[in-house]
Structure 1
Amino acid sequence: MSISDELDKASDAFFGSSKNTDHFLKSDRYEDGSESHKKPVYSGSDAHSFEDLARLSGDEAGYEPTWIKADLTFRGLRQTLFEPKGRVHIGERPAVLERLDQDATRFIAGLKANQVSGYPGNNGSWFKNVDIPFNPELTAIIGNKGSGKSAIADIIGLLGESRQFDHFSFLTDDARNRKFRQKGYAENFTGELIWASGAHPSKRLDADVDTLKPEAVKYLPQNYFESLTNEIEVKAFRRKIEEVVFSHVEKSDRMGKSTFAELEELKTVHSKSDISALKVRLRELNIEIVDLENQADPSTKTRLNEELNQKREEYRVLEKSKPKEEPKPEGETPAQQVVTRQIEEVRQVQEDIEERGRAAVERVSALKTDLVELDTLKEALATIDSQVKEGKEELRSTCKRFGFDIDAIVSHRIDTQPIEDKIAALKADVKALELASGKPVSDDTDLSALSSVPDLRAAYQFLAEKLKGLQETLSAPQRRYQRYVQALSDVQSKMTAVMGEEESPKPGTIKDLERRLRYIDEGLRAKLDERYEDRDKISRSIFEAKTKVRTFYEALKTSVEDRLTTINSEAFMVTIDASFVPSHDLAEDFFDHLNQSASGPFRGTAQGQAELDTRMADVNWNNVESILGFANRIVADIAQAGITKQVKDVKRLYDLLFSFEYFDARYELRLGGKNLNELSPGEKGLLLLVFYLHLDMEKTPLIIDQPEDNLDNDSIFTVLANCIREAKKTRQVILVTHNPNLAVGADAEQVLYVTLDKAAGYKFTYESGSIENPRINDAIVKILEGSKPAFVQRRLAYQIK
């Protein structure tokens, strides 16, 4: 083994078979534990005659074909020593060639650009007879600043119907950077994208992306990552994460659904229905809470005390206004005694009529209240009936697929006829109580038979007139006495009305006001606390239902997490979490309910926003008690400064805060535990590039324009270059870069060196070749390394042998 290791160390490459390849790619294959370098293995033909060369075809047993990805030069062969894993393949055709044949609609074969016929060239040469081929794996586009690198990327994005057209830098309509798209330029040039399938869509370069067509390429422009601070872009990116997670889900687990949204709807429909029902209960409870809080407000107690004092004063004045006692006259004549008895009898009947009239009015009021409640009951039953019918129709097709009859499984009958009968009876009672008979009241009228409010009022008026007539026949002493009795009766009746009954006093009476004040002092606080607890329970139930939705998100991300483990390290840790994320609309919705000019914790536009941001930053959105604390503290702090002054509609604010509708389950990509919004521009760019390169399972070509901006070189070399190496195994990558760690570190199969000579009328030229191609190699050293002398000087300064 020691001899074998020494031979290994002395050799550059080996002849062997596919069984030996993995061994020579190990870095720990030596017996003495020293580091071993990766080396290529070739399967030779062992040809001793020209006929033996047939073995190279791979058709003869025992002789596997060797595929070398390099220029057909000695430099190309030598390049395999530097890239043994990516440049040499022993066995059947390499996977990329199979994909190129079978998936030709997802490989760009070339790009053509030319001037339109008749263009005089007065605005520059630009793109004339440009015909660029593209490698099916990684193409790195290099060049000096302003050399047309981003122009090529933008043209591909335009022809590939990229949705990132707002971020184009060369084909931009932004007035600050608008050069080529101004009048007289872009309309004089055309582009044509040549696909491996033979398709060749073309456009004038002043055309727009057709958003009705599918996106044929995934384009990440230079300034795209910076835009992800914009909430609209963040939402779009989160949807992209959902699509990618869905693409990793096994087809058997997709339950026949073609999108993440469809699967989510299927899996969470019951939870969302529960949330909707809970929100209805919450809104009803908040109506009661607002009413109780209004009662608990100190101003309410002050107002009631003022009303009570006023009523007591009214009662005192009435008591003081009692007429001076008038003695009953003595020595009445028999005729006078008869009249007196008649007056007393009429007055008793009148009092009875008055009491029956009050009872009839209260009865009408109660009947009308019952009619409203019965109508509400009918509507509720109609809603239940409609919901059951709709639910059955939604389930009908599913039941039918399994051979079930939904009507046999679910049967319901709602009979509102008893309610209709009751409503009819009550309406008849109301009509009877409100209908006047039309017959005049006389001494012959049976007053005991009267029941309607108008008839009782007419009888009362008749008796009042009769009393007046009888009193006119009395002597002066008798008239004085009768006036006293009547006045005393009137005052006592008013005093009773002001005082109210002990049991069920009418609103506004002394007894009612005293009862309400006792309730405020003795029972209201406990009632309010009970309702607050009820509201918290409903909010917790809403959170629990939303957690079931989050559980759906968590269950789908396992395969994505497994894929991330292949690139994660102690220094670079990317995770994907299923978390509750607050809505960007929360602030707008919240401040819509507030008057920010009023004194309080959220006064002022800028100060109020800062205060809300601070509070939100302290919330653990995955913990219900933390969210409830957030909502309750806001309410308490606003209430301390006077809630009615600051809040436009208190009930609607409560509905917002306690319905928890301002956060939802979403996927969050995290780098080192920080989410997208907490990252620096460089960290954000690196995270998103890793996502698109390593997680995105789309097969469309990936076009990236200068991803290294804001990234440190260590991250580029250790993380990004590795991700690009992996990505090009499954999709075509076209990369605009000025960083050697990407072009060379990711071993680009093709390097496209572009120039745009402004002195020669913006003439665009290019050279294309492999890294080992001498001319391209010189361009790489010149453009990416700052010239060979500079590169050598840096190497010597770093003391690298």
Structure 2
Amino acid sequence: MLNDQFKDSDTWEQYLSKIEATTPTIRALGVTDYYLLDTYERVRDAKHRDGRLPGVDLVFPNVELRLAFGTVKGNWVNCHLLVNPEDPDHIGATQRFLSQLTFEYSGDRFACTPDELARLGSKIDPSLSGRAALARGATQFKVSFEQLAELYRAIDWAKNNILIAVAGSEHDGTSGMRGEAEGAQRQEVERFAHIIFASSASQRDFWLGRKASASSDEIRSRYGALKPCLHGSDAHETGKVGAPDGDRYSWVKGGAHFDSLRQAVIDPAGRAFVGAAPPIRATPSQVISRVTIRDAVWAATPTIELNPGLVAIIGARGSGKTALADAIAAGCDAASEHLSPASFLVRAGELLGGASVQLDWGSGDPSTRELLDYEYDPELDGRFPRARYLSQKFVEELCSADGITDALLREIERVIFEAHPEKDGTFRFDQLLELRATRHRLARQREEDAIGTLSDEIGLEREKRRQIPGLKQQLTQKEQTVKGLEADRDKLIVKGSEARADRLTIIANAAEKVRSYLRFFANQETSLLALQDEVRAFRQNKAPEALRQTKASFVAARLDDADWKAFLLEYHGDVDAALAARIDTARKNAASWRGVAPAALTDPNQSYLSADADPEKLPLAILEAEAARLQALINIDTETAKKFGNLVKRIAEENTQIENTRQSLADCEGAAERMAELSRQRRETYLRVFGSIISEEQVLRDLYQPLVDRLQKAKGTLQKLSFSAKRHADVKQWASLGEKLFDLRRAGDFKGKGTLEQWANTNLRKAWEEGDVAAVDEAIQRFTEAWQDELLAVANVASNDQAAYRAWLMRFAKWLFSTDHIQIAYGIDYEGTDITKLSPGTRGIVLLLLYLALDESDHRPLIIDQPEENLDPKSIFDELVSLFIVAKMKRQVIMVTHNANLVINTDADQIIVASVGTHTPGQLPPITYISGGLEDADMRTQVCDILEGGEEAFKERARRLRVRLER
């Protein structure tokens, strides 16, 4: 009526045509006019009587009022009454409501009716009449905010059928109310309003409590509730119809019902938006827009449209809820391995032959699968799941009461992996972990191998220490034996031959020493020949194999064959020539010391040696000839000569053994010092193992750190989840292996089975699992210093059985310094409790946390069958509701449920009610699916009828959102 710029003769036709042709399609149309319903009635009649506006499903009155508050721009604050058109008497009721608003002018009172507005216009300007007087009266008429508020609160029809909106701009809205008094009035007006007409993102964030300067609690406290922002074209001319400034369209989630506006008032953040297009949440190509079940007489509703947000499938038990979920999962190739014998596809399999499901995706590409074709081999068929199906079987298996499963761990690892920004070209968590941790794992393996080698060496040195008394005794006995043999020899010497006997002893000892030289060179030649064979084998077998293994271990290095050739192990220098030269030298030395037997002397009193010759530097052949000459001179008869020669030889051999024993004794007496050094090396190596373990622990911590950062910033249920890298020491395994080494009947403080484990739990576990290198060092040192000797004393093998005890010592050392009982794993806690200790139901919450809140990389539809299983009602509300609200913002969620809170308090975007008809033997009963939303009163009634606690859930929703529709 006011500022009417529609001047053409066919303005009405242009107006309707423009609405019909507008893109995006206008589904709900609020017809605005000051104080009147005339234009609304005309648009309504054009639709319902003349068949115009076929794309518009809802037409409702938007009665604009001017409040008696001025703005800084010289205008008046506009208020709007959005009227529910579903009441058959809504026009009359609205007119009656308006008629009770009054305006006083020039000693008269005027009602807000067309006649009274025209009378007011004529009173202001007597020259006006008819439409002109009506327009002038409407311009002058100002509504008292107090009167409007009082009237609205007094009339039940108004409270049930009118939503109050107020403009938020500076020009003709509350933002134009300035000054201290106006500020208080402004707050009252905005508190009274259900809806703010505003279009900027900043204003919307303010009214949703997203500003740092005004939290949601502050907005609720100051203005009574969070407010949805809406924006219209405010068209005063044809060109503006359906074309708001900046393409700022109003988008309301729900069916084209007036109740959808009410739901937007209840949940403004989730149900109202201003922009060129509705907010895109789920990726369109990952959204199922339509499900069609073909060749199935039991599907009474074969085609079902699906919302891209949260779809809740409800119904009585046995009504066909899971049938729809199974069918959708089969169409997505997601049902394989997730179906239990109780599932629809398995249970009804014999009656599903020939039936198929077609899914239409948001990207426009349909996919069709036979319902029974849900099992396939991905590698052979080239198919992969286009949705994630959390069937009851799948959830039960992952959250088994028997303990955390490998499948659940794999899912957790997948989420950790997807949350990590730097994947280094890997595709799975285990690959990335292997890539990052390989260096530390190899270092740990090398050091553990070194500990084994050092322990073997320490065992050998310990055995040498045990040999010292025996060697000393042996040395004494040998020396006494030589004295006895020398006395026996002296008795055989012919009187006057003492000098020759002494000379023979010297020659015999020299010959024995030369024989030791020959043994040395013989051994050297044998070893050099073996080394020559080793060089040949290394080149032919070991080096090529080492290169193959290196190439296999470091494929990611991406070296070509030419580069790898440089890694072929080869000896530095000409080892062949060096070995050949050494072999030749050894042979020549042996031949030189062996010598050639001399020609027999004609005079037996003449020596084979020159007077100044050193016997120990002569060949063996010369020494043996000289010994034979002297022996013949010393003894007269052959028998005595033979005995004498044997004694001389025996004395020489015993003297050689005495020298060897002295060398062995010296070696054994040096064992203590070597043991100390080897023990120091083993201790340092043991600590380096822990350094590698701690480094790997840090790698794991770094892998899940991005996820931890997200959890620290999260709100609600997510804050209850925490991740940590943990060292786990299997003390029981370590102690059990140790107990096998000891006689537990006499093990002192460790007597009896289990005692060692208890002690280790108290004194070693904390250092193993939580300590740094220094703490581990201190703990293991304290243990060895306090108990090593006692444990050695209770070995379960006899210490006098040298071979057995030597082997036992090596096993003992390897056990004591072993680290294979220490593993690294990530820990997952929920409310401070390790996931392995949670009940199956609570473990199910953790699983849903993964899929609903943490799994940001998977945008596929999520199909869940009865997520509330094994959970009490309070846990469902406290834990799951917020998860579904988060999830539906980023992916399509299709959920079968019996729980009212999961439908109502999640503000499900679509509700599908399943119902089953009469069952005919040998056939499936007909299944019907009816779809709607919470904005549909009939659907709300069905939700309350079907789901236990439905009415209470609606009340809880109002409490949670702090809804107060009354004004």
TM class, shorter-length: 0.7 to 0.9
1:778 aligned onto 2:941: yes
Aligned counterpart in structure 2 of residue 676 of structure 1, from 835, 839, 851 = 835
More deviation in 144-153 or 305-314?
305-314
Secondary structure in 1 matching 2:510 = helix
Q: Distance in 2 between matches of 1:676 and 1:565?
A: 19
Q: Deviations over 1:408-437 (max 9, x none)?
A: xx9999773343322111222344467799
Q: Is the 8 A contact 2:426 2:432 kept in 1?
A: yes
Q: Distance in 2 between matches of 1:613 and 1:149?
A: 52
1:140 aligned onto 2:322: no
Aligned counterpart in structure 1 of residue 266 of structure 2, from 71, 74, 82 = 82
**Structure 1 match to 2:375:** 208
Q: Distance in 1 between matches of 2:473 and 2:741?
A: 36
Residue 32 and residue 290 in structure 1: after superposition, are their counterparts in 2 closer, same or farther (change >3 A)? closer
Residue 652 and residue 589 in structure 1: after superposition, are their counterparts in 2 closer, same or farther (change >3 A)? farther
Residue 606 and residue 479 in structure 1: after superposition, are their counterparts in 2 closer, same or farther (change >3 A)? closer
**Structure 1 match to 2:692:** 542
Task: Using the TM superposition, give the Cα deviation of residue 104 of structure 1 relative to its aligned residue in structure 2, in angstroms.
Answer: 3.9
Q: Is the 8 A contact 1:567 1:719 kept in 2?
A: no
Unpaired runs of at least 5, structure 1:
117-124, 173-177, 400-404, 449-454
Q: Is the 8 A contact 1:5 1:31 kept in 2?
A: no
**Structure 2 match to 1:232:** 406
Q: Distance in 2 between matches of 1:540 and 1:74?
A: 68
Q: Distance in 2 between matches of 1:793 and 1:772?
A: 17
**Structure 2 match to 1:579:** 725
1:364 aligned onto 2:509: no
Q: Is the 8 A contact 1:148 1:754 kept in 2?
A: yes
Pairwise CA RMSD: 5.6
Q: Distance in 1 between matches of 2:633 and 2:713?
A: 111
More deviation in 634-643 or 753-762?
634-643
Q: Distance in 2 between matches of 1:28 and 1:277?
A: 54
1:245 aligned onto 2:416: no
Q: Distance in 2 between matches of 1:254 and 1:741?
A: 39
The 5 A counterparts of 1:497-508 are: 497-498=656-657, 500-501=658-659, 506=660
Aligned counterpart in structure 1 of residue 844 of structure 2, from 670, 685, 695 = 685
Q: Is the 8 A contact 1:319 1:491 kept in 2?
A: no
Task: Using the TM superposition, give the Cα deviation of residue 440 of structure 1 relative to its aligned residue in structure 2, in angstroms.
Answer: 8.5
1:745 aligned onto 2:895: no
Unpaired runs of at least 5, structure 2:
1-182, 210-214, 602-606, 610-617, 798-803
Q: Deviations over 1:634-692 (max 9, x none)?
A: 9978956648899999679949975679534x665443344432434343322332232
Task: Using the TM superposition, give the Cα deviation of residue 139 of structure 1 relative to its aligned residue in structure 2, in angstroms.
Answer: 0.4
Q: Is the 8 A contact 2:866 2:895 kept in 1?
A: yes
The 5 A counterparts of 1:452-463 are: none
Q: Amino acid of the residue matched to residue 323 of structure 1?
A: D
Q: Amino acid of the residue matched to residue 895 of structure 2?
A: L
Aligned counterpart in structure 2 of residue 443 of structure 1, from 588, 599, 602 = 599
Q: Deviations over 1:569-600 (max 9, x none)?
A: 5x8624554624559xx799979978969866
Task: Using the TM superposition, give the Cα deviation of residue 747 of structure 1 relative to its aligned residue in structure 2, in angstroms.
Answer: 0.8
The 5 A counterparts of 1:614-629 are: 619-620=768-769, 623-624=772-773
Q: Deviations over 1:19-58 (max 9, x none)?
A: 543333337687995572123232234457xx65x7463x
Q: Distance in 2 between matches of 1:31 and 1:526?
A: 75
Q: Distance in 1 between matches of 2:938 and 2:724?
A: 50
Q: Is the 8 A contact 1:113 1:192 kept in 2?
A: yes
Q: Deviations over 1:249-272 (max 9, x none)?
A: 2xxx66777776776677x4xx74
Q: What number of residue pairs does the alignment pair up?
A: 726
Q: Distance in 2 between matches of 1:11 and 1:283?
A: 77
Q: Amino acid of the residue matched to residue 152 of structure 1?
A: L
Q: Is the 8 A contact 1:170 1:180 kept in 2?
A: yes
Task: Using the TM superposition, give the Cα deviation of residue 775 of structure 1 relative to its aligned residue in structure 2, in angstroms.
Answer: 4.0
Secondary structure in 2 matching 1:620 = helix
Q: Amino acid of the residue matched to residue 199 of structure 2?
A: S
Q: Deviations over 1:58-108 (max 9, x none)?
A: x34277321111122233332222222211111111123xx67xx543111
Q: Is the 8 A contact 1:354 1:460 kept in 2?
A: no
**Structure 2 match to 1:279:** 445
Q: Is the 8 A contact 1:574 1:669 kept in 2?
A: no
**Structure 1 match to 2:580:** 424
Q: Distance in 2 between matches of 1:272 and 1:729?
A: 39
Please say which structure displays the higher CA radius of gyration.
Answer: 2
Q: Amino acid of the residue matched to residue 770 of structure 1?
A: G
Q: Distance in 2 between matches of 1:652 and 1:111?
A: 68
Secondary structure in 2 matching 1:200 = strand
Residue 716 and residue 593 in structure 1: after superposition, are their counterparts in 2 closer, same or farther (change >3 A)? same
1:161 aligned onto 2:333: yes
**Structure 2 match to 1:64:** 248
Q: Deviations over 1:758-798 (max 9, x none)?
A: 955552433222123344323311232257699999999xx
Q: Amino acid of the residue matched to residue 255 of structure 2?
A: D
Secondary structure in 2 matching 1:323 = helix
Secondary structure in 1 matching 2:333 = coil
Q: Amino acid of the residue matched to residue 681 of structure 2?
A: R
**Structure 1 match to 2:291:** 111
Residue 157 and residue 189 in structure 1: after superposition, are their counterparts in 2 closer, same or farther (change >3 A)? same
Q: Distance in 2 between matches of 1:227 and 1:610?
A: 30
More deviation in 75-84 or 693-702?
75-84
Q: Distance in 1 between matches of 2:318 and 2:377?
A: 27
Task: Using the TM superposition, give the Cα deviation of residue 702 of structure 1 relative to its aligned residue in structure 2, in angstroms.
Answer: 1.4
Q: Is the 8 A contact 2:260 2:935 kept in 1?
A: yes
1:23 aligned onto 2:172: no
Aligned counterpart in structure 1 of residue 231 of structure 2, from 34, 37, 43 = 43
More deviation in 312-321 or 254-263?
254-263
**Structure 1 match to 2:714:** 567
More deviation in 301-310 or 436-445?
436-445
Residue 518 and residue 231 in structure 1: after superposition, are their counterparts in 2 closer, same or farther (change >3 A)? farther
Task: Using the TM superposition, give the Cα deviation of residue 361 of structure 1 relative to its aligned residue in structure 2, in angstroms.
Answer: 0.5
Secondary structure in 1 matching 2:912 = strand
Q: Is the 8 A contact 1:68 1:88 kept in 2?
A: yes
**Structure 2 match to 1:119:** none
Task: Using the TM superposition, give the Cα deviation of residue 231 of structure 1 relative to its aligned residue in structure 2, in angstroms.
Answer: 4.4
Q: Is the 8 A contact 1:154 1:169 kept in 2?
A: no
Q: Is the 8 A contact 2:701 2:725 kept in 1?
A: no
Larger RCO, structures 1/2 (Cα 8 Å, 6+ apart): 1
Q: Is the 8 A contact 1:161 1:215 kept in 2?
A: yes
**Structure 2 match to 1:451:** none
Q: Is the 8 A contact 1:45 1:56 kept in 2?
A: yes
**Structure 1 match to 2:823:** 663
Structure 1 length-normalised TM: 0.72
The 5 A counterparts of 1:362-441 are: 362-366=520-524, 368=526, 416-432=572-588, 441=597
Q: Amino acid of the residue matched to residue 933 of structure 2?
A: S
Q: Is the 8 A contact 1:28 1:36 kept in 2?
A: no
Q: Deviations over 1:108-157 (max 9, x none)?
A: 123344567xxxxxxxx866774333211110122334444344334433
Residue 771 and residue 627 in structure 1: after superposition, are their counterparts in 2 closer, same or farther (change >3 A)? farther
**Structure 1 match to 2:58:** none
Q: Deviations over 1:324-347 (max 9, x none)?
A: 7437545x8xxxx8xx99998777
More deviation in 698-707 or 684-693?
684-693
**Structure 2 match to 1:767:** 930
Q: Amino acid of the residue matched to residue 195 of structure 2?
A: A
Q: Amino acid of the residue matched to residue 289 of structure 1?
A: S
Q: Is the 8 A contact 2:547 2:569 kept in 1?
A: no
1:703 aligned onto 2:891: no
**Structure 1 match to 2:189:** 7
Q: Distance in 1 between matches of 2:594 and 2:370?
A: 90
Secondary structure in 2 matching 1:244 = helix
Q: Amino acid of the residue matched to residue 673 of structure 2?
A: G
The 5 A counterparts of 1:594-613 are: none
Q: Deviations over 1:448-487 (max 9, x none)?
A: 9xxxxxx97887877787777777xx645x975x567545
More deviation in 641-650 or 486-495?
641-650
Q: Distance in 1 between matches of 2:558 and 2:471?
A: 64
The 5 A counterparts of 1:459-498 are: 475=636, 480=640, 485-486=644-645, 488-498=647-657
